[in-house]
Amino acid sequence: MEFMSNIGGGLQADRPSLFELIAQDKMREMLEPALRYVLAVYAQRYPRYLIRIVNRYEEFYAILMFFVERHYLREYGASFAENFYGLKRVRAPRLVKQRKRDIDDESVAHAAASAKATPATIGSTSLRDRDITKSLVFLIGLPYVKCKLDEYYEKISGGEAARLFGDEFTEEEEDLSGQPLRVRAKARAIKVFKKVYPYVNALYQLSILAHYIGYLYNKTAFYSPWLRLIGIEVKRMTAADYRNIQMNAKKRPTRQANTLIESVQNKVLGLLSGSLDALKVILPMSIFFFKFLEWWYQSDYYRKASAAGESAEVPPPEKIKPHPEGLPMPQQPNICPVCLKSITNPTALSSGYVYCYPCAHKQVEEQGCCPVTLMRCQIEDLRKLYSDAGM
């Protein structure tokens, strides 16, 4: 199993296995629905503040992850999920082509062998500002665009029901013969998009699969077509990388605050940076906590505790005693205290006493209280009883 988990990655110590790369990809994909669920739950309690965020969740998540990913790319040279798995991004080395005509191939090979060196690389492999920008485009922009395209395709194609049951759930095409050119062009574009997008999406997924297979068998240094496009490789972090990160954090210059506003701004930025760094600790702790709750609610301990709680009977509330100034209670329970006749069409008030419906309605409408206890009541408190009034 250790061999299978490291297949394709044992030739180079800094080359991560495909399973590590897929794991960090899946982790990044799982953050979006998890945060959506948390926001949806709290939006039910505080709709005034969160309902707009839930309605525009894709935009909110893209903006949030933009700041998170930019912070980790600048500080650690990796995305949040890559840094969580101990990975980093480096620029792919480019071979220096020797084009000097006065040096033949034998001399070049002899010089390389004597130096015991690989072909040189141009510049450092650390990320530059434009590399960070390109990484953000494919980490944030591409998933956002694809999400919107998927939603739009689901909308115009009829969704899952149309794929399962055919064209019965697909909207019928309208006759646009008399419509303006702009309307007809838009309808034509939608029709073309509906036909072409499944093939484009298939090519998108196949390109990722092809790079997975190529990376697995060490045929390419890029496990993703987007990394190949921007010329960035993913490597394992070494002990030197961790030491450099700690040294850079200690050597990080602190801005001198000349005004109160600058002082507050520095504190806010420091707090924000610390919060983003703490995500590496908060996330696994939250995952452990939710997994514990999931285990608890599915375990026998929770079932026994729930059964014990349900078996405990809640005592009934104390009966309201008749008021000294109210009507006296008759000796027989099936006699109405108001008309002193057998109760017909029994109706109970919130005080718990039962009367004839006409007697209770008239008393509450005129006096606004229970005739026996003088407890305040309204017409809405009348409750029809469908059992014998004698009880």
- 346: exposed, middle or buried (Cβ count in 10 Å: 0-12, 13-18, 19+): buried
- Residue 296 and residue 302 in contact, taking contact as beta carbons nearer than 8 Å: yes
Distance CA 391, CA 383 (A): 16
Q: Which structure tokens are listed for 304?
A: 């026994």
User: Residues 295-311: pLDDT tens digits?
Assistant: 777 766 656 665 655 55
Which ranges in the chain belong to alpha helices (H)? 2-5, 18-45, 47-55, 57-76, 80-84, 105-115, 129-136, 142-157, 159-165, 181-216, 225-230, 239-251, 260-298, 300-311, 357-367
Is the torsion defined by CA of 105, 109, 114, 116 positive or negative? positive
Using the predicted structure, report yes or no on whether residue 121 has a pLDDT greater than 60.
no
Share of the chain above pLDDT 70, in %: 68
Q: What is the mean pLDDT of the chain?
A: 76
User: Residues 223-281: pLDDT tens digits?
Assistant: 999 999 999 999 998 888 888 877 876 666 555 556 666 566 556 556 666 666 677 77
Render the burial of 54-65: b for 16+ CB within 10 Å, e for the rest.
Answer: eeebeebbbeeb
Distance CA 7, CA 203 (A): 26
User: Residues 345-391: pLDDT tens digits?
Assistant: 898 888 888 899 889 888 888 888 888 888 888 888 888 887 654 44
Check residues 126 and 191 and name the one with the higher pLDDT. 191
Using the predicted structure, report yes or no on whether residue 141 has a pLDDT greater than 80.
yes
The pLDDT value given to residue 215? 92
**90 in helix, strand or coil?**
strand
Task: Provide DSSP, 5-54.
Answer: HTTTTSSSTT---HHHHHHHHHHHHHHHHHHHHHHHHHHHH-HHHHHHHH
- 37: exposed, middle or buried (Cβ count in 10 Å: 0-12, 13-18, 19+): exposed
The pLDDT value given to residue 31? 83
Check residues 179 and 147 and name the one with the higher pLDDT. 147
The pLDDT value given to residue 8? 46
Closest CA to 215 of 81, 28, 20: 20
Task: Specify which residues 355 forms β-bridges with.
Answer: 347
pTM of the model: 0.60
